Amino acid sequence: MWVLRGSARREGSDFSWLLPSGEGLVSGPLWTSDEIGAATDGTAYASFTATGVTFDSREVGPGDLFLALKGEATDGHRFLDQAFAQGAAGAVVSESTAHPNVLVADTIAALDALGTASRARANGKVIGVTGSVGKTGTKEALFAALDRMDPGCAHRSVKSYNNHTGVPLSLARMPRDARFGVFEMGMNHAGELAQLTRLVRPHVAMVTTIAPAHMGFFASEAAIADAKGEIFQGLEPGGTAIVPFDSPHRDRLIAAAKPHAGRILTFGLSDGADFRAVERMRTRTGGTFVTARFDARELSFTIAQPGEHWVSNAMAILAAVDAVGGDLEMAGLALAEMSGLAGRGARFMAEPPGGEALVIDESYNANPASMRATLAVLASEPGRKIAVLGEMRELGEHSDAFHAGLAESVEAAGVSYAILVGKAMGALANALEGKVEFVHVPDAATARERLFAVLAPGDAVLVKGSNGVRLSTVVAALAERAMA
């Protein structure tokens, strides 16, 4: 549901460049062999056209360009026969092959060059997204909002392709006639985002939030804010920076944006934010009905995803959609329809003997801020609450303090039984002693056994931890008992 008061679109917006509603992107090849050769300073052997790009031989499909990257663990040239057996149209290689190819000096450098060439030919608006928490969900919601306006008009990075190979790959995959591109950018060291944002060259650059993720690589949370603020360095002239108003690092991020941005917008839940939630109410399905205010306008809509953090994310999404001249009504509809992503909030009903139990899948990653946010979501669910919590990694010397600090959130969520997974969770186990019933186990396989021994109809189960803990295997086992 949405209700708009005031103008649906920013005054002065020009939508004449949009195709009629429902008309998709103009069909045609993504790359020709000649274009690839020109972009990468390579030599084309045989003429071909590609409709997709990948560097993972397992993902190759008919018509794809396969980039044979050389890494520390493997060499893509070993998989050329497999790639062409699966239908690859051509390959970018640094070694001679009988298959149709573009020969280059360095395939990793060629990937960067292909991404740069794709960005150079793009005429649409580009949005860059970073943050300690919420990058992927916000990126997906932005894509859904822009695609809802005109199906086929938008492109985004898939999965969590947000690093030094994922970002140029996502750029290289962008259709030449895309009207919007949404790109996620991540980092765990200073300087990484500065490099990525200069590839993406966003018209709009957003920081979702700052939290103690990757603290093992930074001296302080303020240093993380500085590293995230690097995203503004790549802004196109006159571009828009979007900053979390409620963050204690707001002023630091604004200072980072000022030398590069033509406009700075803030978002959040507090008075003073440019895009703010002035009213919010939980719905029967667990989402939130929100009234957002910006300028002299208000928009009321439903956010399907549960949790206060999604209300804040939604304000950032509205700010970005408005900044690129998008349709805010459609953005509201998209947020109302958006379901959870696998590993990042997806929900399903498992089937223990005699009934059903709710599973909240947050197994992809974890840091202290996202742990607290998802435990708050669990708190709002009916029934007995079980939390399967994997250790949070890359927290360095702060690890014990951050793990122990989750005890208050576990208690506040009303958790009846906690399964703590991994050595680092020992600090939380000590903090919960005598307060909450728990078991501390070494790995995901043992966690699965303990969960299946206690799971009962009516339970609500949160599964969350750093990806390396492999709690996704617990979710997969629960899904085998899920409803069709």
Amino acid (one-letter) located at 422 = G
List the one residue out of 455, 400, 469 whose CA is nearest residue 430. Answer: 400
pLDDT value for 482:
65
Q: Is residue 312 part of a domain?
A: yes
Of 311, 337, 363, the last residue of a domain is: 337
In DSSP terms, 441 is beta-bridged to 421
Helices 135-149 and 308-323: angle between axes, nearest 10 degrees: 50
Of 78, 108, 138, the last residue of a domain is: 108
pLDDT value for 15:
30
pLDDT digits (tens, 9 = 90+) for 191-245: 999 999 999 999 999 999 998 776 777 889 999 999 999 999 999 999 999 999 9
Q: Is residue 145 part of a domain?
A: yes
pLDDT digits (tens, 9 = 90+) for 383-398: 999 999 999 998 888 8
Q: Is residue 290 part of a domain?
A: yes
pLDDT value for 17:
29
pLDDT value for 104:
98
* Number of separate domains in the chain: 3
Give the domain range for residue 460.
346-479
Q: Assess whether 331 and 223 both reside in one domain.
A: yes
Rounded Cα distance, 469 and 276, in Å: 36
pLDDT value for 134:
85
pLDDT under 70: residue ranges of the chain: 1-27, 214, 482-484
Q: Assess whether 179 and 326 both reside in one domain.
A: yes
Strand (E) or helix (H) holding 101: strand 101-103
Of 50, 74, 108, the last residue of a domain is: 108
Q: What is the CATH number of the domain that holds 466?
A: 3.90.190.20
Rounded Cα distance, 69 and 75, in Å: 6
Strand (E) or helix (H) holding 415: strand 415-421
The model's pTM is 0.80
Q: Assess whether 145 and 98 both reside in one domain.
A: no
* Cβ count within 10 A of residue 310: 26
